Amino acid sequence: MEGTLLLTPAAFRTATLALLLAAWIYFRRSTAWRVLPEGMPWVPADLPWTRKFQLPFTRVRAHLRDFQGGSDLAYEGYKTYNKAGKPFVVPSFVTWQPEVVLPLAQVKWLVDQPDTVTSIDRCLVKDLEFLYTAPAAWQFTRPFHVEAINKLRLDSLVEDIAEEVQAGVDEQWGLDGDAWTEINIHSTMLAVLVRITARVFVGSPLCHDAEFLEAAANFISSISGKAIIISFTPELLRPLVAKFITKGLKRWNETCAKHMVPLIKEERLHRRPSDQRTMPPPKTLLEQLSRLAVRSTHAKDRDPFSLSSRLLALNFVAVHTSNHALENALVDMVSPPASTASVFAELRAEAEEVMQQNHGTWSKTAIGQLVKTDSALRESLRLNTFKARGVERIIVKKGGVVLPSGQYLAEGTKVGVPVLPIHRDPELYDDAMSYEAFRFCTTNEVAGGKNGRTESPRRAGHVELVNTSETFLAFGHGRHACPGRFVAAYELKLMVAYIAMHYDIEPLASRPENGKFSDFSIGSMHDIRVRRRKPEESK
Ligand code: HEM
Ligand SMILES: *[C@@H]1O[C@H](CO)[C@@H](O)[C@H](O)[C@H]1NC(C)=O
Ligand SMILES: *[C@@H]1O[C@H](CO)[C@@H](O)[C@H](O)[C@H]1NC(C)=O
């Protein structure tokens, strides 16, 4: 056996020492643990995982519990502590950084904090390991992409979006009017959303380029898996591991960059500040971004490659969230109790009526008239957010902050709020657990809510999909509320309206459960059966 010994004893000792040293440095660097607030209760309650002295692997077990059921932990803490106005701590399998979950009464405090106190970027970068998965993408100095999204002129994009919806759905679901076709709701809707988003982000003709679309779809489909592998790798080894596993991401990014960079360069050439008054207003996000970039004083912001990476990262943020919302909305509409109450048929009638009133063309006004569709989408988002916890931030203020309830949070602590437990709290929503598609489009009078703090949306009259509040957090709330929600609302409403007018969906016997992972919902991976409506059926 001696012949197989690869290392001499001396080399072995050196290697062991090096390993121990590396482990020690790694341990010292994983400061996440040491910013846990003292004396704060934790879940799961049966594992004393935040104690200083604990059995080996208690922390590992706590994190595995998050893997098995992160949303259950959120409910447990919500019921036990948040309802009594207290924050609690939960483990996170995805980032291995524990999170302080604040009670409803402190949501407003959290969303009102300036970026010098709490950072959303630090969370995004960490959760998606952007430093490794998209090097150039998140090292920009100003988040002017938010400004660019806010400046999108949606009314000028309606027809473009409607065109892509039609072409995309027809392609994915087929035109067979005689037989039911079994389709996968997740992958087909993803393909359509990639296409629509490309139209809004980069415009035509690039949004129809097969090579570009494939690379963009591959990039956004694989980034989160890679991010999780990276977050599992000890910090010191990350650059090395990332180098190997992000090869695909890099290749797809190169392909997308190859197509986007020339457009960005051309846009910049024609959008010197002096030209901007005479140029037609920018339409796509690429044009908006290029225009804002010109004004930046930072070289990185103006770099077309950096801009193209930024667009790709935004594409990821935009497509998955929208697809999750759409999948859930469609599944909810055709499952009991909605299937028996013919929600889908009501949405179809609404879409047909709106189309007739608007002479067959979509516009901002027409989309605004889809109030039932708007409510149905919002109701599905209420019951099925893609994460149970949200509004996540890292405390960045030197010296930390003190919560309204008096506890101290050190710099580096991760905080969030229990979005899904709030959305499903029977004290905040009547019949909170049941899907009521038209819950938000009642026109009853506005009534003050419980404790004067919140309003029961049921009684608050018409509330739109895009309206955020302390009790509706699917898009966050406050200064960092999702800037893409307006474009998402347009896309989703046009999708549902088109599908309702042109397809039948076979009702499901029961609402299929969503896949879960940590506190994420990974959506409904189920197949459904669809059939094109015959021309004489659809007006
Ligand atoms: C139904 C679809 C969508 C959902 C449910 C959603 C949800 C969210 C949530 C929960 C946040 C974090 C808010 C917070 O922590 O306070 C967020 C942020 C963000 N979303 Fe969306 N989003 C959607 C669509 C989009 C689209 C289509 C875009 C791009 C066009 C977009 C761009 C962004 C950006 C850039 C941020 C970061 C905002 C900031 O840093 O201030 N989202 N979104
Ligand atoms: C994407 O590719 C461009 C062009 O090669 C490069 O400059 C940029 O750093 C890459 N970004 C990512 C996200 O890998
Ligand atoms: C909902 O959002 C729209 C668009 O931002 C706004 O005009 C409206 O006042 C909001 N409504 C409520 C009830 O907050």
Q: Is residue 411 part of a domain?
A: no
> Does 286 share its domain with 371?
yes
Element (H, E) at 62: helix 58-80
> Does 54 share its domain with 160?
no
DSSP result, 462-528: ---TT--BTTB-BTB-GGGS-TTHHHHHHHHHHHHHHHHHHEEEPPPSS-PPPEEETTEEEE---EE
pTM score, two decimals?
0.89
Q: How many residues does the structure list for the chain?
A: 539
**Nearest ligand atom owner, CA of 315:** 1
Nearest to 312 by CA among 209, 197, 144: 197
Quote the CA–CA distance of 26 and 462 in Å, as a whole number.
53
Nearest to 168 by CA among 523, 502, 529, 495: 495
Quote the CA–CA distance of 209 and 286 in Å, as a whole number.
16
Question: What integer pLDDT is reported at residue 110 of this predicted model?
Answer: 97
Whole-number Å distance, alpha carbon 456 to ligand 3 midpoint, is 16
Question: What integer pLDDT is reported at residue 457 of this predicted model?
Answer: 44
Q: Secondary structure of 516-531 in the HEC alphabet? A: EECCEEEECCCEEEEE
> Does 323 share its domain with 377?
yes
Question: What integer pLDDT is reported at residue 456 of this predicted model?
Answer: 44
Element (H, E) at 118: strand 118-119
Q: What is the tally of structural domains in the chain? A: 2
CATH number at residue 168: 1.10.630.10
Contacts of 380 (CB under 8 A, 6+ apart): 325, 328, 329, 332, 435
> Does 329 share its domain with 438?
yes
Single-letter amino acid code for the residue at 442: T
Last residue of a domain, one of 106, 132, 152: 106
Whole-number Å distance, alpha carbon 7 to ligand 1 midpoint, is 53
Question: What integer pLDDT is reported at residue 7 of this predicted model?
Answer: 64
Q: Is residue 409 part of a domain?
A: no
pLDDT means per 10 residues, the chain with 539 residues, are 58 78 60 65 82 67 80 94 95 82 97 94 75 60 85 94 97 95 94 96 95 92 80 77 84 93 84 67 90 82 87 90 95 91 95 96 96 97 94 94 92 94 96 94 46 40 89 95 97 98 95 86 85 79
| Residue 320: DSSP 8-state | H
Report which ligand 1 atom has the smallest distance to the Cα of 473: 10
**Collapsed DSSP state (helix, strand, coil) of residue 59:** helix
> Does 210 share its domain with 286?
yes
> Does 152 share its domain with 102?
no
Cβ–ligand 3 contact at 464 (below 6 Å):
yes
Cβ–ligand 3 contact at 467 (below 6 Å):
yes
Domain membership of residue 379 as a residue range: 144-385+429-470+474-511+522-532
Contacts of 358 (CB under 8 A, 6+ apart): 365, 366, 369
Is 256 marked as a binding-site residue?
no
Question: What integer pLDDT is reported at residue 16 of this predicted model?
Answer: 77
- Residue whose entry in the numeric block shows the structure tokens 């800037």: 483
> Does 152 share its domain with 285?
yes
Among 309, 312, 314, 315, say which to mutate for ligand 2: greatest number of ligand atoms within 8 Å of CB. 309
> Does 148 share its domain with 89?
no
